[in-house]
Copies of this chain bind each other. A is one copy, B any other.
């Protein structure tokens, strides 16, 4: 029996990146798409709890059952499991291919990775794919063999402990290979562009620049800069075990 593969993203169901991903997955199994009906970049792990959400069957990909969803990327995964697929066993969830990097700290802002994480919470093997190129016209061709082989590997092998891989592709035609990596210590330095609207009120557009502060060779950013595909096994337990082991905070229990 063919494996059941759920495909989603955060750039919206008409983004070129998800089209490449659907194309790759259709060679590996039965594909069902549930993806946002509009761009949902940087929505993190947001879910819609104060409004209803809608889904609509659409004909976007040849011979592939596809739904657009009014909610966030995480909403897409939740409604896919519970409504569209009615608790059928999902063998793999793939999210992307994102237009833009989700390496390093981007993982916590990313709707693409949050959707994949949501599936992993439910015990579903899950992969977020991203290309370090924000352009809508980005060329996903060099990624395609890797998208297929990594997904097939995940279908064939256990991903013990974590069920979630954060896969980023360098922006290059000549990929050097794959490296297992750690989330780099890097951050955004924000700038806010100020403007005044026609009613005389100030508004601010967020912008910023990304700064890598991590010299470790196995930091994902460094692997990408050297032309490698970075894969970071990713997990949803945010406990800082070191602080507990080193008893840094034990004074708190005496308050």
Contact = CB atoms under 8 A, between A and B. Distances in A.
Nearest to A247: B180
Contacts of A47: 42, 44, 109, 206
Contact of A252 (B83, B178, B195): B178
A205 to B, nearest CB: 5
A45 B46 CA distance: 7
A146 B255 contact: yes
Interface stretch (A1-9, A17-25, A88-96, A183-191): A183-191
A222 interface: no
A206 B46 contact: no
Interface string A91-133: 0000000000000010111000010010001100000000000
A203 B52 contact: yes
A41 interface: yes
B235 A180 contact: no
Interface of A: 39, 41-50, 52-55, 72, 74-75, 78-79, 81-83, 105, 107-109, 114, 117, 121-122, 146, 149-150, 153, 157-162, 164-166, 177-180, 182-183, 185, 187, 190-192, 194-195, 201-206, 231-244, 246, 248-253, 255
